[in-house]
Structure 1
Amino acid sequence: MGFYLLSLTLVLLSGFGFLPSVKTASDYTTLVYKGCANQTFTDPTGVYSQTLSALFTSLISQSSKYKFFKTTSNGGQTTISGLFQCRGDLSNVDCYNCVSRIPEMSNSLCGNTIAARIQLLGCYILYENSGFPQISGLELLYKTCSSSQAVGSGFEERRDSAFSAVESGVVSSNGFYTTSYESMYVLAQCEGDLGTSDCGECVKTAVQRAQVECGSSISGQAYLDRCYVTYSYYPNGVSKKSFSGTGQSTEKTIAIVMGGAAAVGFGVVCLMFLRSMMKKDY
């Protein structure tokens, strides 16, 4: 009997070893969009490049301590202002890892432009040369909507109720707020130095743009200059913890369920085998 128990233990351990591993953390370093100025800089002496590099170095160093930081780098007659912001639910380590990836991406995606904004799922960096034309904080910079449409009635009511909750919640939560309502998950964030009233107005505008632009799409994102809103609808009740802003969330949840089901099924088979061996012994 002891032999059978030892064999069963080894089989169970080896069986679980073959279960698929699933990463639940969202890929916060995925590129969402890039915004590159049309104007480029000429830099025969290398001063501009050095000033921009100093700015990036300062932003990266601060990202291990803060979720939002704004600074200016001076190099003779060249002045470049910049900032970074991380998503409110990122740890300091994740924030640093996110921000530190952007300078190289900026160089690759935008080259020698006098202003650029690189938005990842978990953070963004914005920089601009002194005197660069300013735009309204409510300007729509980027939007995307899922091609999948909600089926059946009640979707718009759920979406609008979740939007309403995030509009009020972001004002009282220091500019970052998430909420879930009947399978609808919504996230909103304002730029770190935006006042409470302006933050509420910005998110309200972003919500309106998402409603108009995305309609019945089951997920969407609306990025304004100083705030953004993302939402995703899970009709099958996927937990908001698996939300990553991409279609990978549902796939990861399915993988977890399948892995768990395989483990349970394998355990039942092994228990039946053990029971059979016990009967034979008796």
Structure 2
Amino acid sequence: MAHLLLLLLFLSFSLLPLLSLSATDTFVYGGCTQLRYSPNSGYESNLNSLLTSLVNSATYTSYNNYTFQASTPQDALYGLYQCRADLSMPDCATCIARAVTQLGALCSDTCGGALQLEGCYVKYDNSTFLGVEDKTVVLKKCGPSVGYEVEAMARRDAVLAAIVGSSGAYRVGGSGKVQGVAQCVGDLSGSECQDCVGEAIGRLKSDCGTADFGDMFLGKCYARYSTHGPPVFSKAHHGKPFFTTTTTAISLINLVVTVRRHLRL
């Protein structure tokens, strides 16, 4: 056990240059289910296949979902990922690789987990959630109140109204320094997305009041605004990826899986 802990410590330092954070890689929220799977089970095998598939797929499309059927219900697995629609494909792949490695460490041995970074989202579970609308509040964050500045609040309300009135899974708007963005997970229908975005923006306005910024993440969509200039979520990040190749990303995933197995021994 001691030499494995030393190995983990060495790896954490040796990978720092590769894992340097960018705006798209910033942690927003994460969570795990309480149900755990058995080591070396069919579920573990499906999960390892899913994580690899997510990283591979993110090199050429910004959204995908997977279903792994099994001979027993407890080994079935459902998963998806999604990148913010303004990201380039290299940045999308980088973000998903980062999310997968974080989620593997955060939710070790659990049957379900979800992780939201600034630029992407990953979720998996043994109970199907694909195509199911979910307006549960997952994260709410409101900035400090700026008081009722008539112009700023009028611009904010107009921007949020325009986002509600537009269509598509990804929506952005702005007026002066006021910026807003909303996005639905790709498995929702158009009407479900509209319903979810409307709920998120309604909650933003009622819960955040005159805050200078607000974030409202629901189970299948989010809406955000800022009154003080372009926030990080309104711009694509085109920095150098911390993973230079998809092969490197998958190798790191395999390494995390291997170390987790040894720590159980």
TM-score category, normalised to shorter length: 0.7 to 0.9
| Aligned sequence identity (%) | 31
- Name whichever of 199-208 and 110-119 sits farther off: 110-119
Q: Which of 215, 218, 222 does residue 221 from structure 1 map onto?
A: 215
Partners of 1:210 and 1:111 lie apart in 2 by 33
Does structure 1 residue 202 correspond to structure 2 residue 196? yes
> Is structure 2 residue 62 aligned with structure 1 residue 67?
yes
Per-residue CA distance 1:83-104 (angstroms, 9 max, x = gap)? 0000010011100000011222
Is structure 2 residue 138 aligned with structure 1 residue 138? no
The aligned amino acid for 2:93 is Y
Q: Distance in 1 between matches of 2:179 and 2:161?
A: 12
Contact 1:54 1:73 in 2 (8 A): no
* Code of the aligned partner of 2:48: S
Secondary structure of 2:232's partner?
coil
| Equivalent residue, structure 2, for 1:58 | 53
1:135 is displaced (CA, Å) by 7.4
**Which residue is 1:47 aligned to?**
42
Q: Deviation above 4 Å: which 4+ runs of structure 1? A: none
AA aligned to 2:23 is: D
Structure-2 residue corresponding to 1:87 = 84
Match of 2:149 in 1: 152
**Aligned-partner Cα distance in 2 for 1:226–1:217:** 24
1:56 Cα offset (Å)? 0.8
Shift of 1:49: 2.0
Residue aligning to 2:243: none
Aligned-residue CA RMSD in angstroms? Answer: 2.4
Q: TM-score, normalised by structure 2?
A: 0.73
Cα drift, residue 151 of structure 1: 6.0
Tell me if the contact between 1:184 and 1:231 (Cα under 8 Å) persists in the aligned partners.
yes
Shift of 1:79: 1.2
SS across alignment from 1:141: strand
Task: Name the CA shift for 1:180/1:26 in 2 (closer, same or farther; >3 Å).
Answer: farther
Look up the match of 1:188: 182
Which of residues 114, 118, 122 in structure 1 aligns to 2:111? 114
SS at the partner of 1:60?
helix
Paired residue secondary structure (1:217): coil
- Aligned match for 2:225, one of 231, 245, 263: 231
Contact 2:67 2:78 in 1 (8 A): yes
Q: Hey, what's the Cα distance between the residues in 1 that align with 2:147 and 2:93? A: 37
2:5 matched residue in structure 1? none
Are the equivalent residues in 2 in contact too, given 1:155–1:216 (CA < 8 A)?
A: no
TM-score normalised by structure 1 residue count: 0.69
Specify every segment of 5 or more residues in structure 1 that has no aligned partner in the other structure, as ranges. 1-24, 247-282
Q: Which runs of 5+ in 2 are unaligned?
A: 1-20, 235-265
Give, in whole Å, the separation in 1 of the partners of 2:69 and 2:133.
25
Change (3 A) 1:229 1:81: same
- Counterpart residue number, 1:30: 26
| Distance apart, 1:245 and its partner CA | 4.4
- Aligned residue pairs total 212
Q: Which residue of 2 aligns with 1:129?
A: 126
Tell me which amino acid in the other structure corresponds to 2:211. S
205, 208, 212: which one pairs with 2:206? 212
